[in-house]
Amino acid sequence: DGSGAIVYAADIGFAGLHLVANAILTWDASAASAASERTALLTARMPEPTADGWRWSCERLGAEGRWTRPHGAVIERVLLTDAAAGSGRDVRWSCIAPTSHARLALPGSTIEGPGYVERLEITIEPWRLPLTTLRWGRAASYARSVVWIQWTGAPPLNQIRVDCVEHEAMSI
């Protein structure tokens, strides 16, 4: 019906501090209201793998989600490596479930339909990322998925993945 949600889970560590954060962005296609977002910091949780996909819950947000994947393709790619010799820091992207069945239970409603799961690991300090512009998006159905990543900086990146197959793009 056009309604949907995006669930964010972040595990952040810096200078000896550690924080897990969750956020949910939802929209209702049948309502005239704008999208709404809710966040949780102290009781946040990271998604957990299951035998048939992923699950996530956050008691503070009153939310619980499951993503079951009909295709087991997992893609991992290092998008950027820090130029400093031996730093071992990078930007790593994993497309965990390019197509999945998603079910998100929220207070007063349930959203169900095609879904997508990815993980982004950044071990480079944000201020050292050589980005000037970032465009990142995805579209998923039960049968197909498309992910696009474009950033300007050094080095530039224009990438499209259709059903897990990488294609270089002139522009996005």
**Which residue type is seen at 166?**
E
Give the pLDDT score at 72. Answer: 56
Beta-ladder partners of 122 = 91
Q: Is pLDDT of 40 > 90?
A: yes
Name the pTM for this structure.
0.83
Distances (CA, A) of 155 to 55, 88, 100, 160: 35, 17, 32, 16
- Name the nearest CA neighbour of 115 among 1, 2, 6, 3: 6
| Largest Cα span, the chain | 53
Q: Helix/strand/coil (H, E, C) string of 131-162?
A: EEEEEEEEEECCCCEEEEEEEEECCCEEEEEE
3-state secondary structure of 107: coil
Question: Which of 68, 50, 65, 82 lies closest to 9, judged by CA?
Answer: 65
Listed range (15-19, 23-27, 68-72) with the worst mean pLDDT: 68-72
pLDDT tens readout for residues 75-91: 788 888 886 656 778 88
- With cut-offs at 50, 70 and 90, classify the pLDDT of residue 70: low
Q: Is 128 helix (H, G, I), strand (E, B) or coil?
A: helix
pLDDT at 50 over 80: yes
Give the C-alpha separation, 160 to 169, whole Å: 6
Mean pLDDT of the chain: 87
